[in-house]
Amino acid sequence: MKTYFAAFIPSGDRWAVLFADFELATQGDTPTEAFAAAQEALRGRVQCMVEDGEPLPEPSDLTQARSRVTRWCNDEGLPLPTDTLFQLIPCEEFSTRLVRVNVSFPQSVLERIDAKAKLSGMSRSGFLAAAAGAFEPVLQ
């Protein structure tokens, strides 16, 4: 799994996030929220690039990442704050290769899946893939 550096820049009561290897930014109210937003933003950008057949950039090392983000900030007339944090963000590897699998469901569950897929104008596989992408685990 590749990892990419992101700069977490304190900005008032928020945290701005800039990725050194992508034209990509996000933010959060806390460092934890900013990290979650960074993961989601990176996941979305990488997925789009893979689907469009674009190559992913090679990850920068910390020195390169710091230099690139500093240059961007200076170009905007905003010096990089000294308390900026640089954090590696894991990058999920996406593949567009289809894989056939065998799964087992109770018949009633399969019927509900098929009915919901039909109402959505989707195939069973498309519906299950969309459901997996929308799933948010419940934190306890």
Q: Are residues 78 and 108 in the same domain?
A: no
pLDDT at 96: 67
User: Which is more confident, 90 or 132?
Assistant: 90
In this structure, what CATH number is given to the domain that contains residue 75?
3.30.160.250
Q: Do 127 and 61 have their domain in common? A: no
50 & 6 share domain? yes
Q: How many CB atoms lie within 10 A of CB 132?
A: 8
Write out the DSSP string of 22-75.
SS-EEEESSHHHHHHHHHHHHHHHHHHHHHTTPPPPPPP-HHHHHHHHHHHHHH
Enter the pTM of the model: 0.68
In DSSP terms, which residues pair with 89 in a beta bridge? 4
> Do both 79 and 112 map to the same domain?
no
Instruction: Clarify whether residues 8 and 77 are in a common domain.
Output: yes
- Does residue 81 sit in the same domain as residue 121? no
Q: Which domain holds residue 129?
A: 98-140
Crossing angle (nearest 10°) for helices 124-134 and 107-119 = 90
pLDDT of residue 60: 95
Same domain? For 81 and 116 the reply is: no
Pair 62, 125 in one domain: no
- Which H/E stretch holds residue 10? strand 2-11
Q: Are 64 and 103 within one domain?
A: no
13-48 confidence digits (pLDDT tens): 999 999 999 989 999 999 999 999 999 999 999 988
